[in-house]
Amino acid sequence: MSFWSKLKIKSKLMLVFSLILLLTCIISFIAVRALFSSTEVATSVRDMVETRFNQVLTINTNIVSANNHLAEYLTPGNVTPQFRQVFENAVTVVNGDLAEMQNMAAVYGKNFEELKALNERYQQLYNMVIVPLVDAGKPYDALSFFLSEIHPLSTQMSDLTASMSRGVVNDINTAVSELEDTTMAYIVIALAAGAVFLGFLISSLMARYITNSLKVAVDTAKQIAQNNLDVDINAHNSYDEFGDLAMAMRVMRNDLSESIAMIRNMADALNHQLDDTKVSADAIMNSSREAEQQAITVAAAANEMVSTTQEIASNCERAATLSDQSSGVTQDSVKLIRATIEDIRNQSTYTQNDASKVQALAEQTQKIGSIVGTIDEIAAQTNLLALNAAIEAARAGEAGRGFAVVADEVRALASRTSKSTQEISAMVHQVQKDASEATSSMNTSVENINAVADRASTIEGTLNSILDYVGQVNDQIRMIATAAEEQTTATSEISANMQKISSDTEEIVQSAEQAIGHCDSSVDSIRNLVQNLSRFKLSHFQHSHLDHAFGNTTPAKK
């Protein structure tokens, strides 16, 4: 079996057209390469003409022009600064041309170097000989030197530029000669002709192969369409799509033949089974009538259950309402206790502030006691001074009597002051004692208030726990109510379904009666089917194989 026959149609076409495309690509590559080569040559020629040839032509023209300007300058009667400036400008232009040509010195080669040397020699002779002679008033000597020494240099430079021009022309001719080679054109023509011939040959072979394969497939399909399932289908010649088509048609023929033979035998068996089905349909009809009566009984019980579950749901709703009310009362109590705790804590803060103020008052009374002590000391000193003054007044006799009276008054005032300070001191001590007792009492009150607040917080926690329990109970009640409602819905659905079952059972009874009639008509249809299938020509092997599989069943006769 050849390699070609193992390929699929797609692979064959891909292989053939890939070969043609390969040749086309080779032809295109060669043609494009030749085109690019021609383009490169044309570009090179254009560059040589526009760059090198123009440079050589320009510098030759400028050299001749500069030499002519020098000759004109040295002509008798023209030795003026104006003509000299014109020549020097021309020399500057020549130097500029040489600077531009410096970039392509390697292309011009030795001629360019000689041209530069001659130009330098030309300008050197001008600067070192011509200029001094002209400045010395010897224009004729300068003209004679120009004609004998400088002008030949200009001629040599012109000859060099002419040689460089010929070199450019030779390069252009060499590049153009490459375009005259027709070898690539002949290769392209030969490959194109080969590709055309190969494409025509392959397309003819592929068309004949596809046409023959389709003709075989069409003939086979016509045989099968004429009920000939014993036709021979050869699928071993190729492994492409036509081979797959032939194999698929053979499998289809075998499957169709087996299916028809199987249907014929199954029709015989089905004919007997329909009789059994008719008997079963009678039994189903009787059982359905009994099921209808039982469904009616179940529906009545379900309706009673619906009433009971609805009452349970109603009681659960009332219990949930009472639970919500209890929860609300408990929440109000929690709010009152929280407010009371807040008031107690505020009162504790106020009491602590009062204790601090009483403590500050005690500290102030201590300061007052210190001041009173100081006043008492001052009174004692005053009394002592008054006593001394009285003694001195007594010594003075009559002259000191008035001073003695004043001293007595001062001493009496000091005595009263001392007495008053003692009374104030006693009062201050009493105030300090009372303030200390008040501070102690307030601290005790603060501790008691804090204890009461803590106990109130405990009560709040207890009420919160009660509130949580009430919420949980409420949730359980609602869950029970929901379950009861769901049970009511489910029971209602059961009742409706049982009524539907009762109705469906009645329909089943009617359907069973219709099925009995259909069984009779199906028997007639099966007989007609067996007669129609007998037109197909089956292979002997398949027919005997299926007869053996179904126990040699023959069509039932009624």
More confident residue, 465 or 246: 465
Residue 90: per-residue pLDDT: 92
For residue 24, count CB atoms less than 10 angstroms from its CB and return exposed for 0-12, middle for 13-18, buried for 19 or more: middle
Bridge-partner residues for 228, per DSSP?
Answer: 537
Q: Which of 12, 43, 53 is nearest to 166 (CA)?
A: 53
For residue 458, count CB atoms less than 10 angstroms from its CB and return exposed for 0-12, middle for 13-18, buried for 19 or more: exposed
Confidence tier at 50 by pLDDT (50, 70, 90): low
Per-residue pLDDT reduced to its tens digit, 119-128: 999 999 999 9
Six-digit token pair at 246? 């032939």
- The answer, yes or no, to whether residue 556 has pLDDT greater than 50, is no
d(CA 246, CA 236): 9
Torsion of CA 410, 412, 413, 417, to 10 degrees: 130
- The answer, yes or no, to whether residue 118 has pLDDT greater than 50, is yes
Six-digit token pair at 265? 């035998």
Distance of CA 325 to the CA centre of its chain: 55
> Mind giving me the DSSP string for 212-232?
HHHHHHHHHHHHHHTTBTT--
Q: Is 137 helix (H, G, I), strand (E, B) or coil?
A: coil
| Residue environment code for 328-366, b if the CB has 16+ CB neighbours within 10 A, otherwise e | eebeeebeebeeebeebbeebeebbeebeebbebbeebe
Per-residue pLDDT reduced to its tens digit, 143-174: 899 999 999 999 999 898 888 888 878 877 88
Provide, rounded to the nearest whole percent, the portion of the chain with pLDDT above 90.
7
d(CA 382, CA 411): 7
d(CA 149, CA 134): 16
